[in-house]
Structure 1
Amino acid sequence: MDTSRTFSIHFWLNLAKKNDDLAPIYARVTVDGKRAEISLKRTTKVTFWDTKAKKTTARTPEGKELNDYLDQVQAKLLACYKQMSSDFELITAQSIKSRFLGTDEKHKTLLELVTYHNNNVGGSIRPGTMKNYFTTEKYIKKFLLQSQRTGDIYLKHLRYSFIIDFEQFLRKGPSLQNKNPLNNNGVMKHLERLRKLMNLALDLEWVEKNPFARYKLKFHKHQSDFLLKHELDTFRNARTIDQGHEFVRDVFVFSCYTGLSYIDVKRLGRNNVVLGMDGKFWLSLERTKTRHPVKVPLLEEAMEILERYRDRPCAENNALLPVYSNQKVNMYLKDIAQDLGIEKRLTFHSARHTFATTVTLSNGVPIATVSKLLGHTKITTTQIYARVLEDKISADMEGLRTVLKEGKTNKEKRISGW
């Protein structure tokens, strides 16, 4: 392939924009006869401009500074041309201008990356997750302004130190919601999203290396509270303060016996209730979080709640159950637990843990089956939910004692019979 071409740089005054005796200076880049013009954001007096030398003749400190600047511009434009030539890139007057101004694809900024992600990837992300990305974007902008003293930053300038500084900014500064700083896992979530953004930049070839390559996310493991069997029974039979608390109790208990997440319960419609191959009713749906199909047999306790609301007008779109906002549900759960003397920090997610631990695993349901019911794609995810209860351990060990005792007795019988 023939790569020979003509290339020239020319400085000129735009007399059409002349004001009194001052005119703006432009640089014209020409490649193979095609031009691209760049405003240098500088002006000079027309009377002092040397059209042959393409410099000012003013013998003043300002004149010397201007000529030095023009030399720097010429050197930078030439460097852009040489770099693109050595990289075997397509060279045009416009591409050299873009490289000079830092607007070409190799000089994208962090906020340009965020915008690209929101416009091109956001459609495949569920709204709740996308909302979290918008929050991370707000923290990034706040960090750039307050700590970096800039409105944006080139991706090529991001270093490991940028990540560490951003982490400390999140840890020490007040959160967007209140004056308290974010907890550790909240900080890690924002850094996790920034890492995903940088992975996207790497895939797009906007950066040559990811500054997160040597950074380790450090989540603190904690497990949600769940209800024991006697607590679940107490919850089911509780007399609530008002109808709103009754709704929340019923929806929460329904999730305890189905293992569904808040958003999946909220989206349940009559079409999700189907007749299974065993002749009994099942729930058939696609998990909102993973889009993984799930089928859950309806236990009697769950069916009882559905029957209770069969003829009641529930939420919009012919919903099966009346489900309030997640924030309101969690607030009411706190009230109910307090009234019942259950000293646990319950959230709606606690129902999913209760299903996995108290309802299924402690009653002998294999973890592989529980994983299917929860809609997990990996059994290791289920193990996070699966907490074996002490009474289950005790029962299992008692069974083991019986087996060992019977084995010992049989052995003694065989020996005595010999």
Structure 2
Amino acid sequence: MIHVLKAGTIKNYYTTERYLQKFLWKKKRVKDIFLKQLNFRFITDFEHYLRTYKNSKKQLMLSNNGVMKHLERFKKMINLAIKLEWMNKNLFSQFQLKYDKYDKAYLNERELELLETTEFTSERLQKIKDCFVFSCYTGLSYIDVKELTENNIVKGLDNTNWIYTKREKTDEPVKAPILPKAWTILEKYKAKEELDIKTNLLPISSNKKTNAYLKEIIKDCGIHKNISFHVARHTFATTVMLSNVNHNRAKRLK
């Protein structure tokens, strides 16, 4: 079976390639290098270059985890070269990728309710807020929300509406019940004439604009957290699912 990298993943590899090209030119004044010239020192020098790389405004560009991501992609290319018998030695055998651990951000029940009940006069902000809330109640990622169509909505055996799709990132099947609050948002935009429901069900913007608008939205709601669209998935897994479990448990105890 042939595995094809997703567009977003390929884009990330191109970014790593550009950093490698800049590193080669700055440190060695060459545009390319033979695989046999690579060694452990090359990796540590490249790591140092990434950690100290600054943009035109003299600002550091990468966090520790950002540096590790680029080295991880480079490591995968080295491993591929070894499998193809282009190289004999694994340069990363003595190099350990060390990621910083951090608590995943999410909205708690109070914050989610505050977000839901805040209405925006700005149409662009209201649309992104609705898409974010939809993700909070379905657990879908940005790209899965963006590519959601009517074909992904089916009736389950329990006669309720479900989302059947595949995760863009992993190609894994996703089956999720559409909770009432998520269904209300779908119905809202299905009724709008300007939305082509054959190709998309929700009016989400580009990933970059969506995250920029979310910062405005969260600030206007008085929520003091650093939020990206990915936070919706964590909110679904922690706040929404936990709330439903507790609600069902309380019903059984009555």
Which piece of structure 1 moves more, 147-156 or 196-205? 147-156
Aligned residue identity for 1:187: V
- Native 8 Å contact 1:272 1:285 kept in 2: yes
Partner in structure 2 of residue 253 of structure 1: 133
State the identity as a percent: 48
* Partner in structure 1 of residue 188 of structure 2: 308
Is 1:343 the counterpart of 2:224? The answer is yes
Equivalent runs, 1:131-142 vs 2, <5 Å: 131-142=11-22
Normalised by the length of structure 2, the TM-score is 0.91
Structure possessing the higher radius of gyration over alpha carbons: 1
Task: After TM superposition, list the pairs within 5 Å mapping 1:222-301 onto structure 2.
Answer: 222-301=102-181
Following superposition of structure 1 onto structure 2, how do residues 16-31 of structure 1 map, counting pairs within 5 Å? none
Deviations 1:339-370 (A, max 9, x none): 111111111011001000000035438xxxxx
Deviation for aligned residue 1:137: 0.7
Identify which range, 243-252 or 317-326, moves more after superposition.
317-326
User: Greater RCO between the two (CA within 8 Å, min separation 6)?
Assistant: 2
Unaligned runs of 5+ in 2: none
Question: Using the alignment, how far apart are the partners of 2:49 and 2:56 within structure 1?
Answer: 13
Match of 2:72 in 1: 192
Query: Does the CA-based 8 Å contact 2:162-2:178 persist in structure 1?
Result: yes
Q: Is the 8 A contact 2:23 2:46 kept in 1?
A: yes
Q: Which amino acid aligns with 2:155?
A: L
Query: In structure 1, how many angstroms separate the alpha carbons of the residues matched to 2:197 and 2:48?
Result: 44
1:92-144 per-position Cα deviation (integer Å, ceiling 9, x unaligned): xxxxxxxxxxxxxxxxxxxxxxxxxxxxx9x7100011001111111111111
* TM alignment of 1:201-220, pairs within 5 A: 201-220=81-100
What is the CA-CA distance between 1:314 and the residue it aligns to?
2.4
**Counterpart residue identity of residue 299, structure 1:** L
2:201 corresponds to which residue? 320
In 1, distance between residues paired with 2:25 and 2:143? 36
Partner AA of 1:336 in structure 2: I
Contact conserved, 1:309 with 1:320, CA < 8 A, in 2? yes
1:217 Cα deviation from its structure 2 partner? 0.5
C-alpha separation in 2, matches of 1:176 and 1:271:
46
Query: What amino acid is the match of 2:83?
Result: D
**What is the deviation of 1:316?**
8.3
Residues 316/172 of structure 1: CA separation in 2 closer, same or farther (3 Å cut): farther
**Structure 1 alignment gaps of length 5 or more:** 1-120, 366-394, 400-418
Q: CA deviation at 1:148?
A: 2.1
Distance (Å, rounded) in 1 between the aligned partners of 2:49 and 2:155: 54
Contact 1:333 1:346 in 2 (8 A): yes
Q: Deviations over 1:169-191 (max 9, x none)?
A: 11112158974231111111110
Q: Any idea what the Cα deviations from partners look like across 1:12-45, whole Å, max 9, x if unmatched?
A: xxxxxxxxxxxxxxxxxxxxxxxxxxxxxxxxxx
Q: Which amino acid aligns with 2:224?
A: E
1:110 alignment counterpart: none
Give how far 1:149 is off.
2.5
On the 8 A contact 1:156/1:207 being kept in 2, the answer is yes
Q: How many equivalent residue pairs?
A: 246
Q: Distance in 2 between matches of 1:164 and 1:192?
A: 13
Mean Cα deviation higher: 257-266 or 176-185: 176-185
Instruction: Specify which structure has the higher proportion of strand.
Output: 1
Name whichever of 199-208 and 143-152 sits farther off.
143-152
- What is residue 241 of structure 2 aligned with on the other side? 360
Comparing 211-220 with 222-231, greater Cα deviation is found at: 222-231
Question: In structure 2, how many angstroms separate the alpha carbons of the residues matched to 1:148 and 1:308?
Answer: 58
Whether the 8 Å contact between 2:149 and 2:197 is mirrored in structure 1 is no
Residue number among 201, 206, 213 corresponding to 1:332 in the alignment: 213
Q: Is the 8 A contact 2:149 2:201 kept in 1?
A: yes
TM-score, normalised relative to structure 1: 0.56
> Secondary structure of 1:283's partner?
strand
CA-to-aligned-CA distance 1:134-163 (integer Å, 9 cap, x gap): 111111111111112322221112111110
Amino acid at match of 1:201: A
Q: Return closer, same or farther for 1:245/1:290 CA change in 2, 3 Å cut-off.
A: same
Pair 314,295 (structure 1): closer, same or farther in 2 beyond 3 Å: same
Letter in structure 2 aligned against 1:191: L
User: The residue matched to 2:96 in structure 1 has which SS?
Assistant: coil
Counterpart amino acid of residue 150 in structure 1? V
